[in-house]
Each structure stands twice: as C-alpha cells, then as structure tokens.
C-alpha cells in the first residue's frame, strides 16, 4: 500500500517538554525550575477526520515518568519524582498542566539531567494487562484503546530548547472503507464490526528502554468500529471507520460484518489466516455494486513506511 493511502494515520504523536534555561534563571521570569510540558500536533496519528485526525483532546491525560539520569539511588542530593506524574491537556493551545498536586522540578544538582518516558492512556502505569474497548464507536472508547509509548532523548539538562517526547503506537489498527461501485451507493448508518478477536494483552516490560507485549489473551469477541465515517470524494484516503486491536493471529473465517440500518448483513471471510502486527494499519476497501461486492486489502506501517502486503477475502 502506498503511503498516500494513510497520510492521516501516520506520524507518531508528540509531546514537547520545555524547560527554561539553567539554574542562573531560578526564580526569574516566573520560572522556578519546573519541568514544563506542551502538547504539539504535528500530524494526525489515527485515521480520517475528527478523533482520527487529532492527537490529544483537551482534558485528556498522559502519564509521565521522570528520573534523574544515572544518579546513584543512595545519593543524598537525588531528586525523587512521583511516579507517574499525570499531565492534562488544558486548552486549545495544547498546554499540559500537572494533574497531580506536585509539580516536577529539575534537580538542583545540575550535573545530572533527567530521563523521561510516558504512557497513554494515562491509567496505564507499567506492567499489567491492557484491554481494548469492544465498542469503539465513540471517540472516547477509540482513544482509550490506542495504547502508546513515548520517550524523550536521554539525559535532558536544564535548557530552553523544546525537547520532543515522541509516541509510537503499540497495537494494530484495522480500517474499513466502503466504496460505491457503478450504479450503487455507500450504505449510510451501517455498523461495521470485526469478529472473533482477543481483546487483551499483557504488558511484560515498560521502562526507558521501551514497552514489550506478550501474546493476546481473553475470550474472542466482536469489536465495533468508529461510527464517524467520513465520505469525502475529494480525499478518499481520509475515508473509513477504524478500530484499534491487540496484535494477534486471526484464523481463516469471518472477520468483518456490516449491518445495514434495515438489519441486512454482509460478511467478509478470510480465505487464510492473517497475523495483525503491532504498529501496522490493515485497510480493507469494500466496493459495493448493484449485484455484487468485492474487497481489496492493504497493509502499511503505522509509522508511514511503505510496506505493502497482501491479504485475501472471500465475500459472502
């Protein structure tokens, strides 16, 4: 799949951390050494418009972990930070304010910088089990399923330079696009579901070196895709419904169910098993004609690399 097909899915989300200059400025210009965060929208990280074309909405939280770089844990001058600190997007300028009562401050010992990593959604605080929502029709449920890990460059010193905290998607995404063929139309109001998927995954490691996931777990279930389908003829790459899923192998059989408003259903079956990998976007384009349906599948990296792969469907 060419990159143009997912221009609005790409680019990891960014948070930018800003610290004012060095300890010579302590107490000046209203700065007391605190670590300041700002959310900056570079490009969309999800799919289509609205929730898919945004990064962090006002009111959303990010869990931030801050530690001194290579500091002796027994040192008397070590700065300890609450773990994690919660930051909230507080305005339209994507300013992040501390949700916890305690504001993080650079260590007074300027011989040591800090290391920072972060998690989204903010209730994810490290090792444990993460479960995607089975109803992702709403913006909140879709975003709550989009597990992301972010890390900043190592050993950040007191500086006025904006430091990027770059997030990457840890799960997989499936996009379904409905296209009207000759003499047909796209069914408005249809509900699109992914069938027979495991919803949970254990987080086996989460620290400054990254996040590691185990095998998908939980009873298989159906997952409802976002209902904010965008039908823009001028920008077809923006169109589609989406769901975030746990990386896993799906055996051949029913994968997609489309239920029209009158109750009529169409099923799309895999002819062979497929492995949904972390960080990949799986796009299934369904063409409706007067008397038939056809499906084309495309796979590309969620980080906007051009990584075409093939998938096969049987249409019922």
Quote the mean pLDDT of the chain: 75
Name the band, by pLDDT with cuts 50, 70 and 90, for residue 239.
low
- Please report the pLDDT score of residue 235 as a whole number: 57
pLDDT at 23 over 60: no
Which whole-number Å values give the CA distances from 231 to 24, 150, 240, 252, in the listed order? 55, 32, 8, 30
pLDDT for position 186: 55
Q: What is the pLDDT of residues 263-309, one digit of tens each?
A: 888 888 888 899 999 989 898 888 766 555 556 655 655 654 333 33
How much is the average pLDDT of 58-73? 83
For the record, the structure tokens of 61 come out as 């939280």
To the nearest 5 percent, what fractions of the chain are helix, strand and coil?
A: 5, 40, 50
Residue 6's pLDDT is what?
A: 27
pLDDT value at residue 7: 28
Structure tokens at 248: 């896993």
158 band by pLDDT with thresholds 50, 70 and 90: confident
Q: For residues 299 and 301, give the distance between their C-alpha atoms in angstroms, rounded to a whole number.
A: 7
Mean pLDDT score, 159-175: 80
pLDDT band at 192 (very low <50, low <70, confident <90, very high): very high
End-to-end CA separation in angstroms for the chain: 25
Residues 88 and 37 sit within 8 Å (Cβ to Cβ)? no
Q: Answer yes or no: are the C-beta atoms of 89 and 57 closer than 8 Å.
A: yes
Tell me what pLDDT residue 315 has.
38
Distance (Å, whole) CA 36 – CA 95: 9
13-22, 70-79, 247-256: least confident range? 13-22
pLDDT value at residue 161: 64
pTM: 0.81
**Average pLDDT value for residue range 147-153:** 88
Q: Mean pLDDT over residues 158-177, rounded?
A: 81
Alpha-carbon gap, residue 114 to 150, rounded angstroms: 15
| pLDDT tens digits along 92-146 | 655 677 887 778 888 877 677 889 898 999 999 889 999 999 999 998 999 999 9
- Per-residue pLDDT, averaged over 27-32, amounts to 62
pLDDT at 41: 41
The pLDDT assigned to 290 comes to: 52
Tell me the average pLDDT across 169-183. Answer: 79
Residues 59-73: what's their mean pLDDT? 84
Going by C-alpha positions, the residue among 141, 22, 14, 116 that lies closest to residue 64 is 116
């Amino acid at each position: 799949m060419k990159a143009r097909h997912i221009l609005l899915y790409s680019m990891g989300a960014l948070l930018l951390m800003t610290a004012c200059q060095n300890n010579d400025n302590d107490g000046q210009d209203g700065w007391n050494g605190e670590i300041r965060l700002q959310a900056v929208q570079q490009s969309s990280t999800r799919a289509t418009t609205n929730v898919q074309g945004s990064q962090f909405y006002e009111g959303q939280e990010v869990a931030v972990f801050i530690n001194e770089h290579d500091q002796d844990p027994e040192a008397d001058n070590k700065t300890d930070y609450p773990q994690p600190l919660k930051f909230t997007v507080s305005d339209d300028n994507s300013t992040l304010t501390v949700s916890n009562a305690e504001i993080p401050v650079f260590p007074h010992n300027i011989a040591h910088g800090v290391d920072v990593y972060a998690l989204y959604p903010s209730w994810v605080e490290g090792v444990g089990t993460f479960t995607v929502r089975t109803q992702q029709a709403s913006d909140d449920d879709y975003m709550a399923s989009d597990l992301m890990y972010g890390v900043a460059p190592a050993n950040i010193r007191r500086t006025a330079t904006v430091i990027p905290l770059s997030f990457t998607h840890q799960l997989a995404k499936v996009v379904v696009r409905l296209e009207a063929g000759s003499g047909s139309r796209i069914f408005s109001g249809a509900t699109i579901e992914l069938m027979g998927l495991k919803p949970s995954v254990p987080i086996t490691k989460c620290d400054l070196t990254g996040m590691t996931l185990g095998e998908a777990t939980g009873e298989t279930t159906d997952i409802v895709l976002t209902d904010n389908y965008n039908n823009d003829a001028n920008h077809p790459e923006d169109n589609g419904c989406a769901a975030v899923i746990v990386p896993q192998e799906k055996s051949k059989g029913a994968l997609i169910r489309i239920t029209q408003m009158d109750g009529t259903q169409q099923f799309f079956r895999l002819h062979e098993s497929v492995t949904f990998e972390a960080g990949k976007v799986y796009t299934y384009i369904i063409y409706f004609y007067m008397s038939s349906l056809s499906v084309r599948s495309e796979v590309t990296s969620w980080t906007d690399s051009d990584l075409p792969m093939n998938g096969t469907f049987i249409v019922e």
